[in-house]
């Protein structure tokens, strides 16, 4: 944990075709994931999507109906939770109220029957790492939420697990602390180089600290990628909508390749580039900042509309524009002194077909 001691090399976690049902409810559907050694990986999705179930499956608290979980290439399905060497930080922290902070952190080491001196050293190191060395003799109920969270983390990393699991690690903290703590978590993870998976429903949290994200919805993995990949190339409408703001516009594809176009409303069409994929029934997807208000630039298409509202966001101004029956969000950089489009004004929205995507569910 400290610099002079070499940690074992980080390990990979592979999830292969996992299915899990509670009664007739299918909670996980054929989940495949490859989590690389040393990676900070996020399971992102709305509540009830199965992301916590998947995490608990890795920890051994849930048992899959089929499929396997490999850690460092070994199937751990037959191992009980206490033999998996997978550290988990619980959402409620689950600190034991009858033990002091020190005894909480020492617990896992004592279970491993380490010598007393070794335990003392590693408990002290873990507490120092989270900056709580001075509170070792307190009981959990005497700590603040942030401190409890750090104790929970210290308790888990003290056993030097092969994999670190964090269940909504920031959800019990106030907004101001969250940014600090998530940076600390990231730093800690980097320093330890430990393969880590955390569950969150907050895309900002996922984007800011994780190397890669698996977006999960309704028990299925929707897409896996770096935050940027997911943002730029969402694989489907769910991912597009869940990560950042996206315009998702109904319409229909008219014509045939190479002269296909997407008709938003009668007479309002956007050409579909020949190289673009546009499966039947797809919807038009683009980010607000990919469009502009006013005359189309070269290569852009013009979509006529009416300004419905505008929001001042600081660096940008977000307009709501009605085009046909659809409502588009368009972000325009804010430059002091430049005139703004008035609400109710007729305008055009300029959009490069190359920045648009056509996605299905």
Partner 1 sequence: MTLALGARRGAPATTRGQRALAVAIGLFLFAFLVLPTATVVFVAFTEKGTGQFTLVNFVDFFRTDLFVRSFWNSVYVSVMSVVWASALALPLAILTTRFAFRGAVLIQTLGFVPLVMPPFVGAVAMQLLFGRNGSVNLLLDDAFGFKIPFMEGLNGVIFVQSLHYFPFILVNLSASLRNIDRAMEEAAQNLGSSGFRLIRRIVVPLAMPGFVAGASLVFVKVFDDLATPLLLNVKEMLAPQAYLRVSSIGIADPMGYVISVVLIVVSVAAMWISALALKDRDYATVQRGGGGLARRSLTGWESALGYAVVIGILLLVLSPHIALFLLSIATIWSFSPLPDAYTLAHYNRVFAESSLYIKNTLVYASIAGLIDVVIGTAIAYLVLRTKLVGRQWLDWAAMAALAVPGVVLGIGYLRTFYGISLPDGTPLAALWITIVLALAIRRLPYALRACTAALQQISIALEEAAENLGATKARTVRRVVVPLMTGGLLAGFVTSFSTAAVELSATLMLVQSNSDAPLAYGLYVFMQSSNGRGPGAALGIIAVLLVTVCTLVSHWIVERRHEGAGNR
Binding-site member from 87, 146, 169, 234 for partner 1 (CB under 8 A)? 87
Residue 299, class by beta-carbon neighbours within 10 Å (0-12 exposed, 13-18 middle, 19+ buried)?
exposed
Number of residues that bind partner 1 (CB under 8 A): 32
Residue found under tokens 């005894």: 103
Q: Which of 97, 267, 315, 337 binds partner 1 (CB under 8 A)?
A: 97
Which 8-state DSSP code applies to residue 288?
A: G
Is residue 94 near partner 1 by the rule CB under 8 A?
yes
Least distance CB 163 / partner 1 (angstroms):
11
Q: For residues 207 and 243, what is the distance between their CA atoms, to the nearest angstrom?
A: 9
Residue 115 contacts partner 1 per CB under 8 A:
no
- Closer Cβ to partner 1, 74 or 83, answer by number: 83
**What CA–CA distance (Å, rounded) separates 343 from 129?**
54
Residue 186 backbone dihedrals phi, psi, to 5 degrees = -60, -45
Determine, following the binding rule CB under 8 A, whether residue 141 of this chain makes contact with partner 1: yes
Question: Of residues 148, 156, 222, 348, which one binds partner 1 by CB under 8 A?
Answer: 156
Q: Which is nearer to partner 1, 59 or 240 (CB)?
A: 59
The two three-digit tokens of residue 345, written as one number: 């004004």
Q: How far is it, in rounded angstroms, from Cα 40 to Cα 286?
A: 28
User: Interface residues for partner 1 in 55-84 (CB under 8 A)?
Assistant: 59-61, 80-84
- Residue 199 interacts with partner 1 (CB under 8 A)? no
Does residue 47 bind partner 1 (CB under 8 A)? no
- Please check whether residue 222 is in contact with residue 239, taking contact to mean a CB–CB distance below 8 angstroms: yes
Q: How far apart are CA 175 and CA 171, in angstroms?
A: 9
User: Counting contacts by CB under 8 A, is residue 159 touching partner 1?
Assistant: yes
CB of 43 to partner 1, least distance (A): 17
The distance of closest approach from Cβ of residue 87 to partner 1 in the complex, given in angstroms and rounded to an integer, is 7
**Residue 63 to residue 148: CA distance in whole angstroms:** 29
Residue 71 Cβ vs partner 1, minimum distance, rounded to whole Å: 14
**Cβ distance to partner 1 smaller for residue 160 or 331:** 160
Q: Pick from 186, 256, 200, 240: which is nearest to 356 by CA?
A: 240
Which of 88, 216, 239, 323 contacts partner 1 by CB under 8 A? 88
- Chosen residue from 45, 50, 108, 353 binding partner 1 by CB under 8 A: 108
Q: Are 328 and 349 in contact (CB under 8 A)?
A: yes
Quick check: 334 binds partner 1 (CB under 8 A)? Answer: no
Which lies closer to partner 1 via its Cβ, residue 189 or residue 207?
189
**Pick 140 or 353: Cβ nearer partner 1:** 140
Nearer to partner 1, 7 or 83 (CB): 83
Q: Is 174 in the site for partner 1 (CB under 8 A)?
A: no
**Residue 225: how many other CB atoms lie within 10 Å:** 17
19 bridge partner residues: 66
Q: Compute the least distance from the CB of residue 328 to partner 1, in Å.
A: 40
Interaction residues for partner 1, span 9-38 (CB under 8 A):
22
Tokens 């299905």: give the residue: 360
Contact residues for partner 1, defined by CB under 8 A: 22, 59-61, 80-88, 90-92, 94-99, 107-108, 111-112, 139-141, 155-156, 159
């Amino acid at each position: 944990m400290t610099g002079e001691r070499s940690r074992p090399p980080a390990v990979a976690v592979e999830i292969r075709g996992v299915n899990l049902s509670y009664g007739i409810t299918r909670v996980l559907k054929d989940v495949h994931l490859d989590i690389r050694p040393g990676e900070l990986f996020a399971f992102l999705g709305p509540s009830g999507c199965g992301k916590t179930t998947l995490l608990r499956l890795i920890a051994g608290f849930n048992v899959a109906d089929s499929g396997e979980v490999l850690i460092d290439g070994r199937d751990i399905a037959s191992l009980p939770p206490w033999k998996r060497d997978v550290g988990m930080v619980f959402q409620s922290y689950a600190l034991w109220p009858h033990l002091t902070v020190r005894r909480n952190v020492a617990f896992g080491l004592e279970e491993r029957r380490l010598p007393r001196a070794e335990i003392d050293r590693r408990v002290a190191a873990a507490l120092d790492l989270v900056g709580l060395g001075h509170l070792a003799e307190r009981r959990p109920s005497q700590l603040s939420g942030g401190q409890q969270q750090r104790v929970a983390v210290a308790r888990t990393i003290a056993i030097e697990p092969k994999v670190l699991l964090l269940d909504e690690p920031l959800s019990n903290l106030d907004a101001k602390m969250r940014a600090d703590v998530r940076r600390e978590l990231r730093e800690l993870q980097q320093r330890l180089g430990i393969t880590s998976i955390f569950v969150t429903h907050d895309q900002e949290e996922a984007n800011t600290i994780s190397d890669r994200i698996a977006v999960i919805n309704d028990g299925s993995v929707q897409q896996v990628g770096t935050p940027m990949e997911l943002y730029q190339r969402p694989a489907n409408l769910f991912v597009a909508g869940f990560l950042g703001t996206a315009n998702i516009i109904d319409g229909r594809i008219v014509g045939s390749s190479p002269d296909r176009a997407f008709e938003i409303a009668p007479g309002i069409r956007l050409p579909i580039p020949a190289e673009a994929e546009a499966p039947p029934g797809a919807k038009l997807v683009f980010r607000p900042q990919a469009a502009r208000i006013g005359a189309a630039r070269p290569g852009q298409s013009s979509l006529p509309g009416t300004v419905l509202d505008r929001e001042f966001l600081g660096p940008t101004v977000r307009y709501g524009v009605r085009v046909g029956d659809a409502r588009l969000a368009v972000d325009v950089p804010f430059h002091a002194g430049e005139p703004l489009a008035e609400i109710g004004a007729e305008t055009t929205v300029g959009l490069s077909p190359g920045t648009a995507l056509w996605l299905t569910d």
